[in-house]
Amino acid sequence: MRIRTAGAIAGGAAAAIAAAVATYPVLWRRWCLTWGATAGEAAAQMPGDDLMPSPDLISTRAITVEAPPSAIWPWLVQMGSGRGGAYTYDWIENLFGLGMHSANEILPQFQDLKVGDVLSLGSENAPRLRVAVVDPERALVVRSADGNWVWAFGLYSEGKHSRLVSRNRIKMPGGSAPARLGWAVVMEPGSLVMERKMLLGIKHRAERLAATPEAS
């Protein structure tokens, strides 16, 4: 009886996974790649788009922050391994040796970010991100050393609140069809989990900063 029950559970799980894989491109993919973003934000040009005109993948995700861009910007420029972290699930990132420790305060030593600066994603052999655009309180763009990833942040003031938009442009040169499918059904939802947490982490920190007497 137990064997049959275990078999039924395994069969049901396999069927659920198969259904998720089959329906993801049609039902869930657009939502996954544009979480929080309006149709206009997803379609709009952003700084850094010109660095990769024809990507294989674009994601544009966004969140409303009840704070001005000046309260959001410090958290963006201090991001990185050995810096302010990424404000997401540190324990997951550190399983991959990224050395992320999300800060809950502004770190003055990491506020002077400049074009050309190189940010590490972990150990000495980990990928490097070179800063491509620094437009204070408006836009921050980094690009991977191999040129296959461009990550842009845009800040847009809307009265008493701001929109924080994160856009990833990714190339997968030489990627096989199975590899691209695996990326779509595994990595895309996974990236949403991490990026959603990051955007919420920045939102909470910026709103707390904006509410402090020193920031008013």
Which pLDDT tens digit goes with each residue over 164-210? 999 999 998 876 666 666 666 678 888 999 999 999 999 999 999 99
Per-residue pLDDT band at 2 (split at 50, 70, 90): low
Q: Where are the domains of the chain?
A: 34-215
For residue 70, pLDDT over 50 is answered with: yes
Chain centre to alpha carbon of residue 179: 21
CA nearest 154: which of 31, 33, 37, 30? 37
Q: What is the CA radius of gyration of the chain?
A: 19
pLDDT digits (tens, 9 = 90+) for 115-145: 999 998 776 666 789 999 999 999 999 999 9
User: The domain 34-215 is classified under which CATH number: 3.40.50.970, 3.40.50.460, 3.30.530.20, 2.60.40.10?
Assistant: 3.30.530.20
82: left (phi over 0), alpha (psi -120 to 50) or beta: left
- Tell the residue number behind the tokens 């980094």, with chain if given: 142
Sheet holding 161-170: strands in order across? 57-65, 161-170, 149-158, 139-144, 128-135, 118-120
pTM (2 d.p.): 0.84
